[in-house]
């Protein structure tokens, strides 16, 4: 009974893990695509200048690009409190930033509010036009506040963000900037999915193995109980217990430990909270799979019990 309970917990948790790994992959990949867009190459390790940006674009692999300057700043809230933030200066139009209209991480600011920001030796008054939620740190656009580059002046670029027109020219970029790191967002997402699929496959293997073990244990337990306690079941049948009552009793004996394990694991999974993960959406599926395996495995014994007749019970007695 204890083994069945623990195996049901493990099977349900591993099934949750399969879905959650998939959700994590979709969340991070979607975050990268929203932050940078598909077909983006980021050159990290500046400082870079407009001349460096022009040299990268001259390779002929990119349809356009821009530089991102990053500075440490102080955000002053309307109530007077302050907070140290990372400020990214981007060209007008990136993330909807233009003039005093800015974008901000939703954790630090609210859309529709006006703030004071001190960065790069300048005091700015910004209006947060929109907020963004990031679940992954993306080079090039990983800041708390995004402002129009024109407000901070001609700062050197910390990153170059380039839009691919065809191939990414990663090798040529590394030759052009030997001290910089180059990231192709498409390759990064592919590598991320490749790693997550390994975890997903491992979780799926554990889920299938434990669910199969639960079914095998239930089948053995139900069949053994049917044969070893047939006399007791027959007496109950002789005393007038209906077929449905007999089957319900047996089902409670066979399936209750697995159901308790599934419900315990589901309660634990629902307590998990993380950005991009919603256990509530998939909550019914893992326990339903383990429960279905339990019911199918106990079906042969239940069928035999349901078939017991009062006459057969009297002969046994």
Q: Are residues 11 and 115 in the same domain?
A: no
In whole angstroms, give the CA distance from residue 66 to residue 37: 13
The pLDDT assigned to 71 comes to 87
The pLDDT assigned to 172 comes to 83
Q: How many domains does the chain have?
A: 2
Q: Are residues 151 and 224 in the same domain?
A: no
Going from the C-alpha of 259 to that of each of 178, 236, 284, 297, the distances in angstroms are: 59, 25, 13, 13
Q: Are residues 16 and 110 in the same domain?
A: no
Range with top average pLDDT, 12-26, 27-41, 97-111, 260-274: 97-111
Query: What is the domain range of residue 88?
Result: 40-167
Q: Are residues 211 and 243 in the same domain?
A: yes
Residue 172 lies in a domain: no
The pLDDT assigned to 135 comes to 57
pLDDT-based confidence at residue 104 (cuts at 50, 70, 90): confident
Residue 194 lies in a domain: no
Look at 106 and 31; give whichever has higher pLDDT: 106
Q: Is the pLDDT of residue 145 over 70?
A: yes
Among 143, 167, 191, identify where a domain stops. 167
Q: Are residues 144 and 216 in the same domain?
A: no
Range with top average pLDDT, 42-56, 124-138, 188-202: 42-56
Q: Are residues 261 and 144 in the same domain?
A: no
Among 147, 167, 187, identify where a domain stops. 167
Residue 93 lies in a domain: yes
Residue 137 lies in a domain: yes
Lowest-pLDDT choice from 47-56, 58-67, 207-216, 301-310: 301-310
Q: Are residues 104 and 17 in the same domain?
A: no
Residue 179 lies in a domain: no
Look at 209 and 1; give whichever has higher pLDDT: 209
Q: Are residues 54 and 89 in the same domain?
A: yes
Q: Are residues 16 and 124 in the same domain?
A: no
DSSP code for 240: T
Q: Are residues 163 and 45 in the same domain?
A: yes
The pLDDT assigned to 312 comes to 61
| pTM (two decimals) | 0.59
Q: Are residues 257 and 153 in the same domain?
A: no
Residue 33 lies in a domain: no
Q: Are residues 83 and 155 in the same domain?
A: yes
Among 125, 143, 167, identify where a domain stops. 167
Residue 125 lies in a domain: yes
Range with top average pLDDT, 10-24, 59-73, 299-313: 59-73
The pLDDT assigned to 34 comes to 65
The pLDDT assigned to 183 comes to 79
Residue 177 lies in a domain: no
């Amino acid at each position: 009974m204890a083994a069945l309970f623990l195996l049901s917990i493990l099977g349900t948790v591993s099934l949750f893990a399969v879905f959650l790994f998939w959700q994590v992959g979709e969340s991070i990949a979607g975050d990268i695509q929203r932050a940078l867009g598909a077909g983006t190459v980021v050159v990290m390790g500046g400082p870079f200048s407009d001349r460096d940006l022009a040299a990268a674009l001259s390779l002929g692999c990119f349809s356009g690009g821009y530089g991102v300057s990053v500075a440490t700043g102080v955000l002053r809230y309307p109530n007077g409190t302050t907070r140290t933030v990372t400020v990214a200066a981007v060209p007008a139009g990136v993330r909807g930033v233009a003039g005093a209209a800015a974008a901000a991480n939703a954790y630090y600011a609210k859309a529709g509010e006006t703030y004071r920001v001190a960065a790069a030796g300048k005091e700015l008054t910004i209006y947060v036009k929109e907020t963004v939620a990031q679940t992954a740190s993306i080079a090039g656009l990983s800041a708390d506040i995004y402002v129009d580059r024109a407000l901070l002046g001609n700062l050197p670029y910390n990153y170059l963000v380039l839009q691919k027109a065809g191939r990414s020219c990663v090798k040529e970029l590394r030759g052009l900037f030997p001290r910089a790191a180059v990231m192709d967002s498409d390759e990064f997402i592919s590598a991320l999915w490749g790693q997550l699929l390994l975890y997903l496959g491992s979780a799926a293997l554990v889920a299938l193995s434990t669910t199969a073990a639960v079914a095998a244990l239930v089948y053995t337990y139900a069949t053994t109980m049917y044969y070893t306690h047939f006399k007791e079941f027959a007496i109950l049948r002789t005393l007038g217990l209906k077929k449905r009552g007999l089957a319900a009793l047996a089902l409670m004996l066979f399936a209750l430990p697995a159901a308790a394990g599934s419900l315990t694991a589901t309660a634990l999974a629902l307590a998990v909270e993380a950005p991009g993960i919603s256990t509530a959406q998939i909550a019914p599926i893992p326990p339903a799979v383990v429960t279905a395996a339990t019911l199918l495995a106990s079906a042969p014994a239940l069928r035999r019990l349901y078939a017991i007749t009062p006459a057969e019970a009297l002969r046994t007695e």
